[in-house]
Amino acid sequence: MPLPKAELHLHIEGTLEPELLVTIARRNELSLPTMDVAELRAEYLFDDLQTFLDLYYRNVAVLRTEQDFYELAAAYLRRAHADGVRRAEIFFDPQQHLRNGVPLAVVMSGLSAALADARAAQGISADLILCFLRDLGGDAAKEMLHAALPFRDQFIGVGLDSAEMGYPPSLFREVYAMAAAEDLRRVAHAGEEGGPDYVWEALDILGAERIDHGIRALEDASLVQRLREERIPLTVCPLSNVALRAVPTLADHMLPAMLDEGLLVTVNSDDPAYFGGYVEQNFEAVGAQLGFGGDVLAQLAENSFEACFATPEQRAGWNAELREAVSRQTAQATETLGRNT
């Protein structure tokens, strides 16, 4: 049984599996280079963040209707529920949909309906975080936030994603100040391809409460100290880092070093349709490849609840479930050991 956990770094557009991609493209009478699922999946090999983003934005362009967004989010939430996810804080990229001619109201209503239905049917707690595309710059981000304010009750925070290099967090100072004034939570991708200076800027200039990826923070000891002392969460995505070649192999991943430094790290899937696994597969992969035992995996699950934006009462409830799951596992392991000796 997967451990109860929260998923905090997940782009809903990155959950578009080739099967659903083809279904939606056909329904909307849009063409792709091929309609063959295996051929589409064979394209999912990347050299870096940009080669991934090129394919991701091409595929995102099939999403046009409320039903498309509903089906996309509903499929993710079903998978997440099966993976033990109790809480999901989900990124979406509205600027890309607007560029494709899809009104914000269509995106919001499709996603919000799927979240509400999953809450009712599966008891999963989920909220949306609106991401700004950093390569479109600070003014476009301000326009985006302004356009999104009529939907303020349908998202809990803002994030920053897309091409990182050359687009430092400092470009987004004003839009993050606007978001803070609206009581929106603030997170930002930083330190995936960019250096520790991007993480510093996200903290000091944007007031980011959580850093997405942040793997390159380890290169700066004083930054590590700051992250540790302030218990700033880092949402690490191990399979993503391998797929986009931020690390050569999973065995080389810095996650153990980050844990040794006492950082509040969590494990997440990022764009699971593209990177070879949903959140439980990320947990299994780090367990197998980094030699993490049940105690470390439970720590990572506990961290995910500490790092999430749910209420203290909700977090206490999930932590209690987690403790029960861990003691059940321990009891089973002891029983198996007893039978074998």
Closer Cβ to Zn ion, 127 or 270, answer by number: 270
Q: Is 308 helix (H, G, I), strand (E, B) or coil?
A: coil
Interface positions, 191-210, toward ligand HPA (CB under 6 A): 192
Closer Cβ to ligand HPA, 83 or 192, answer by number: 192
Would you give the binding string for ligand HPA spanning residues 127-166, x where CB under 6 A is met? ----------------------------------xx----
Q: Is the torsion defined by CA of 214, 135, 9, 38 positive or negative? A: negative
Number of chain residues interacting with ligand HPA (CB under 6 A): 11
CB of 4 to ligand HPA, least distance (A): 25
How many other C-beta atoms can be found within 10 angstroms of the C-beta atom of residue 329? 15
The rounded distance, in Å, linking the Cα atoms of 220 and 211 is 15
Interface positions, 13-52, toward ligand HPA (CB under 6 A): 14, 49
Selecting among 13, 17, 66, 192, the annotated active-site residue is: 192
CB of 123 to ligand HPA, least distance (A): 27
The token pair at 277 is: 């696994």
Give the length of the chain: 341
Closer Cβ to ligand HPA, 135 or 219, answer by number: 135
- First vs last Cα of the chain: how many Å apart? 25
The rounded distance, in Å, linking the Cα atoms of 53 and 61 is 12
CB of 121 to ligand HPA, least distance (A): 27
Ranges of H-type helices in 83-195: 94-99, 104-122, 137-148, 173-181
11 binding ligand HPA? (CB under 6 A): yes
Q: Is 117 helix (H, G, I), strand (E, B) or coil?
A: helix
Q: Is 271 helix (H, G, I), strand (E, B) or coil?
A: coil
278 binds, options Zn ion, ligand HPA, none, Cβ within 5 to 8 A by partner type: none
CB of 285 to ligand HPA, least distance (A): 17
- Which residues have CB under 8 Å from 332's CB, separation 6+? none
Closer Cβ to ligand HPA, 176 or 274, answer by number: 274
193 binding Zn ion? (CB under 5 A): no
Closer Cβ to ligand HPA, 86 or 253, answer by number: 253
Closer Cβ to ligand HPA, 192 or 280, answer by number: 192
Residue from 7, 83, 271, 302 in contact with ligand HPA (CB under 6 A): 271
The rounded distance, in Å, linking the Cα atoms of 238 and 260 is 17
Residue from 17, 83, 270, 280 in contact with Zn ion (CB under 5 A): 270
Residue from 81, 189, 210, 253 in contact with ligand HPA (CB under 6 A): 189
Q: Residue 128's closest CA among 182, 189, 187, 214?
A: 187
The one segment of 218-226, 267-275, 285-293, 309-317 that binds Zn ion by CB under 5 A: 267-275
Q: Residue 107's closest CA among 88, 93, 121?
A: 93
Q: Residue 190's closest CA among 179, 202, 180?
A: 202
Closer Cβ to ligand HPA, 255 or 310, answer by number: 255
192 flagged as catalytic: yes
14 binds, options ligand HPA, Zn ion, none, Cβ within 5 to 8 A by partner type: ligand HPA
Write the DSSP symbol of residue 167.
-
The one segment of 28-36, 144-152, 266-274, 298-306 that binds Zn ion by CB under 5 A: 266-274
Amino acid at 249: T
SS3 content of the chain, % helix, strand, coil (to 5): 60, 15, 25
How many other C-beta atoms can be found within 10 angstroms of the C-beta atom of residue 115? 23
Footprint of Zn ion on this chain (CB under 5 A)?
Answer: 270
Q: Which residues bind ligand HPA (CB under 6 A)?
A: 11, 14, 49, 56, 161-162, 189, 192, 240, 270-271
Residues classed as catalytic: 192
